A and B are shown apart, each in its own frame.
Chain A
């Protein structure tokens, strides 16, 4: 693998953790802090937030992984777009349109995340998954979901 973690991506990561930690610490002040011997709800998150900020700062400063090889070589956005799009469609459709429609949408969308979509296989998945889901989860296990919008 040729690609390596660059120092600037390390700095961004450290900075994000630092800011998140400060945000958590700041928000903790809106909850009762209490005392050491009787801690309130805000005490523990405050400590966690400050520790996070400290560690984020250290990552920003030390850039621990700069120069190490990265996990993936190609960073294409297509898989991410279709996978998250599929899950989003399922979540949005489940209540109004039922399990069948939601699952058809999920399988159709997420199938295009694959580098070389195979149309026969997509057709099979789009039919099999919703039916299987309906049989297993609604008919078999009686989960509280509806299969159809009506």
Chain B
């Protein structure tokens, strides 16, 4: 199929009424959960998963993706107005967004972040359209060693670059990998770590794990932190949104740089939107001629990270759709949704399901335009959502978590799994153990095991196979460099750490 007709097919698919409707539902819901602190895209997507069983796979994935990138728009609202990041990817926006709000310029800050988000997202979608099919074509030639090497790199990148302690990140990845081995071994049929429980023979449910570690644990930490009083939010008027010419000039180049950083980091497996926003902020501070104004309301300090996280979120679809390798926890759950619908993610997806691949990409354009409309003229409406008291929300969220987890496999056992990992998750948050690497390890672990066993079977036990092809050799070297650089060079580690600890980071992937 040639390029133009593919794009045409995509828009024809995305403009079908049900796809259009659920794209709108997805991005609107994404904005809402993005702006509400204490509920993120990951928990929402997990909660929505059972509802998507009743949809076409294309519609389902369009809606779930809409929640993901919609949350990036909404997240900056809470960062700016309340100094509380709506999601972890917007944490850095607090630094300059909140001072702007205190100066009475919240409206301008919201407008600038929305516009730079749109620019970042749009550029990354363009890259996705060009690079996605190309990469898929190249990846058709990838074998087991390439996949093993890329996924190992993804795990190492996710755990070392997350900003916290490298040791804890790595430990959580390995815990995830170990949890992933529970259940029947794919190759030999042996039951592992089942301990006589029949519910475990299909392995642990990713949704139960995600709901426990993210959904329930986050609700609990919020409850422990809250004193029960609602947020005080000022209304945002339309007039206050209009930026001055100086604001636009000050945020143009940061937006461009943020977009580029975000697009690249989104493509790399294991590095996601959160790291992208930190790096964009750090870059701006370095190249700025007036680094002193950062933290006091610099336009560059909100434009760059917001462009960056939106670009990263969109370009993260490149490895997910073309290789079938999820780059972060949200993508992992989304791939799970595809698999439930019987669609095998991987390089052949573009050719076997062009309507899904191109329809999804076309829906990104539609979704981003809808988000632009929702976040500019209708911003006042969304700001008012912040006034909803938390006690009305979390009980409903718990209910949706219960029903959602249960209905995936009709299993009460999975609800107990949520409780178990909810308890583990609270201890992890208190002890500063990151949950996102665990979930990524859980998803990639079984895939790594399968590919590694296959590769070593082909090579008759020789590990040379992992360095004998250029692609896998490159990723093995990259993995080692990342490990050595973060472990061996305290300077690099301290720099990442400092950027991360400038603000409190929500425990969300």
Q: Contact residues of A with B, CB < 8 Å? A: 1, 5, 9-10, 13, 17, 20-21, 24, 27, 31-32, 35-42, 44-45, 48-49, 51-52, 55-56, 58-59, 62, 64-65, 68-76, 79-80, 83-84, 86-88, 90-91, 94-95, 102-103, 106-107, 110-111, 113-118, 121, 125, 129, 133, 137, 141, 143-145
Q: Are B190 and A90 in contact (CB under 8 A)?
A: no
Q: Is B170 an interface residue (CB 8 A)?
A: yes
Given known contacts A37-B456, A44-B181, A83-B216, A121 and B418 CB-to-CB distance under 8 angstroms: no
Bound Cα distance from A118 to B224, whole angstroms: 17
- Distance in angstroms from A66 CB to nearest chain B CB is 10
Nearest-neighbor residue (CB-CB) of B396 within chain A: A129
Bound Cα distance from A101 to B392, whole angstroms: 19
Bound Cα distance from A87 to B459, whole angstroms: 49
Q: Are B433 and A86 in contact (CB under 8 A)?
A: no
Bound Cα distance from A5 to B117, whole angstroms: 36
Q: For residue B430, which residues in chain A have a CB less than 8 angstroms away from its CB? A: 9, 70-72, 75
- Distance in angstroms from B440 CB to nearest chain A CB is 14
Q: Are A32 and B190 in contact (CB under 8 A)?
A: yes
Q: For residue B392, which residues in chain A have a CB less than 8 angstroms away from its CB? A: 121, 125
Choose among B394, B426, B433, B461 the residue that contacts A13 (Cβ–Cβ < 8 A).
B433
- Distance in angstroms from B213 CB to nearest chain A CB is 14
Choose among A31, A36, A70, A87 the residue that contacts B415 (Cβ–Cβ < 8 A).
A87
- Distance in angstroms from B446 CB to nearest chain A CB is 9
Q: Are A87 and B398 in contact (CB under 8 A)?
A: yes
Main secondary structure of the interface of A (DSSP, over half): helix
Q: Are A27 and B193 in contact (CB under 8 A)?
A: yes
Bound Cα distance from A41 to B192, whole angstroms: 8
- A–B pairs, 23, beta carbons within 8 Å: A21-B178, A31-B185, A32-B190, A45-B192, A48-B445, A58-B167, A59-B167, A64-B166, A65-B432, A72-B221, A73-B225, A86-B398, A90-B399, A90-B402, A106-B399, A110-B395, A113-B394, A125-B392, A129-B395, A129-B396, A133-B403, A143-B403, A144-B410
Choose among B224, B399, B419 the residue that contacts A129 (Cβ–Cβ < 8 A).
B399
- The 8 A CB mask of B185-196 against A (1 = contact, 0 = none) is 101101011000
Nearest-neighbor residue (CB-CB) of A52 within chain B: B174
Choose among B171, B188, B223, B395 the residue that contacts A52 (Cβ–Cβ < 8 A).
B171
Main secondary structure of the interface of B (DSSP, over half): helix
How many residues belonging to B are interface residues under a CB distance threshold of 8 Å? 72
Q: Are B181 and A40 in contact (CB under 8 A)?
A: no
Q: For residue A38, which residues in chain B have a CB less than 8 angstroms away from its CB? A: 456-457, 461
Bound Cα distance from A96 to B402, whole angstroms: 16
Q: Is B431 an interface residue (CB 8 A)?
A: yes
Given known contacts A59-B168, A65-B168, A36 and B181 CB-to-CB distance under 8 angstroms: no
Q: Is B175 an interface residue (CB 8 A)?
A: yes
Given known contacts A37-B456, A71-B430, A87-B398, A141 and B54 CB-to-CB distance under 8 angstroms: yes
Bound Cα distance from A133 to B50, whole angstroms: 13
Q: Are B190 and A72 in contact (CB under 8 A)?
A: no
Q: Is B501 an interface residue (CB 8 A)?
A: yes
Given known contacts A31-B192, A84-B419, A62 and B395 CB-to-CB distance under 8 angstroms: no
Q: For residue B51, which residues in chain A have a CB less than 8 angstroms away from its CB? A: 141
Q: Is B219 an interface residue (CB 8 A)?
A: yes
Q: For residue B190, which residues in chain A have a CB less than 8 angstroms away from its CB? A: 31-32, 40-42
